[in-house]
Amino acid sequence: MAGQRKWSRRLAALVFLLPALAGLLAFQLLPMVSSVVISFTDWDMIAKWTDMRFIGWDNYAAVFREEKSYTSLKNVFVFLIGYMPLVTALGTFLAVLLNRKIRAIKLYRAAVFVPVITSWVAVSIVWRWLLNGQSGLINFLLSKIGIHGPIWLQDDTWAMVSIIAVTVWKDIGFVSVILLAGLQDISEDYYEAAELDGASAWLKFRRITLPMLSPTLYFVVTISLINSFQLFDQVLIMTNGGPAGATSTLVEQVYKNAFQFNKMGFAAAQSWVLFVIIFAVSMLLQRLQRRWVVYER
């Protein structure tokens, strides 16, 4: 009798889980398996599935032979070098400010988060106009103080700087809110004890806030790093990978090879190479976090 009730509960749980499992299978697992299969073929999305020709590891070899792959990977690392320190430092600073008990603080927190919930398409179109070299608002304002602004999105030096600045502006609200949650989880007892010992504000921040906030910082760094490797929307809309490939990224290359050049097999191989890179970097972060992340016991 007890065994029947146990199986009955398991069956009921399975019935409730079926819709979620069906969605996981149809929209995640099946496409993933299909992309692995396609990466070993020369399928162009036009021919029938039955006409796909197996070509082995040729697509993967082509990924490492193509110069654009290295250029786009280099651009991603350039983006990371500019984006990660800025969004982490500014996000932490903003989180500390938003943690203060001042009037209308909830309104300020909501205002900071507004760019996060705004569509990347809308944001990119607006910033493309703001950064227009001839008629953009940024250069117009700079001209009022005697500065001749560059052609931001058409200059191979300033294009990536513009992408970094816009991405930091949009993501800083997300980072600060996550870090704010981490700050509010730190017990006030630590600060009270430090004050009794005469610790300064900077010493409390360095010796208490940063160590206790390190698990949240690790989460923010990991998520930001993974998102950086998938940089796409703002690049496609603002610069289309230009000028001369200065802002081309791995995901942008996957998109163009798949849907513009009809090289679906090659694009699938590129996407799996990107997956391996993200997985390797994530594992490296996991190993390194043992050296600087402090977990409260």
Q: For residue 77, count other CB atoms closer than 10 A to its CB.
A: 11
| pLDDT tens per residue across span 207-240 | 888 888 889 999 999 999 999 999 999 999 999 9
> Higher confidence at residue 242 or residue 171?
171
Cα-only R_g, the chain: 24
| Cα–Cα distance for residue pair 92/219, rounded to 1 Å | 13
| pLDDT tens per residue across span 248-292 | 999 999 999 989 888 999 999 999 999 999 999 999 998 888 888
Percent of residues, the chain, with pLDDT higher than 90:
48
Mean pLDDT of 11-37: 86
Select the highest-mean-pLDDT range: 12-16, 81-85, 146-150. Answer: 81-85
Q: What pLDDT is attached to residue 40? A: 92
Q: What pLDDT is attached to residue 3? A: 60
Residue 142 has pLDDT above 60, yes or no: yes
Question: Is the backbone of residue 262 left (phi > 0), alpha (psi -120 to 50) or beta?
Answer: left
Mean pLDDT of 148-169: 92
Q: Indicate the CATH number for domain 38-292.
A: 1.10.3720.10
Q: What pLDDT is attached to residue 198? A: 83
Q: What pLDDT is attached to residue 256? A: 92
Q: What pLDDT is attached to residue 46? A: 79
Q: What pLDDT is attached to residue 2? A: 56
Q: What pLDDT is attached to residue 175? A: 94
Alpha-carbon separation of residue 152 from 120, 146, 233, 259 (angstroms): 19, 17, 18, 28
71 band by pLDDT with thresholds 50, 70 and 90: very high
Q: What is the dihedral of CA 96, 78, 121, 253, to 10 degrees?
A: -150
| pLDDT tens per residue across span 179-211 | 999 998 888 888 888 888 888 888 888 888 888
Give me the chain's average pLDDT, please: 89
10 band by pLDDT with thresholds 50, 70 and 90: confident
Residue 7 has pLDDT above 80, yes or no: no
Please give the model's pTM, rounded to 2 decimal places: 0.88
Q: What pLDDT is attached to residue 43? A: 85
Q: CB-based burial of residue 267 (10 Å sphere; 0-12 exposed, 13-18 middle, 19+ buried)?
A: buried
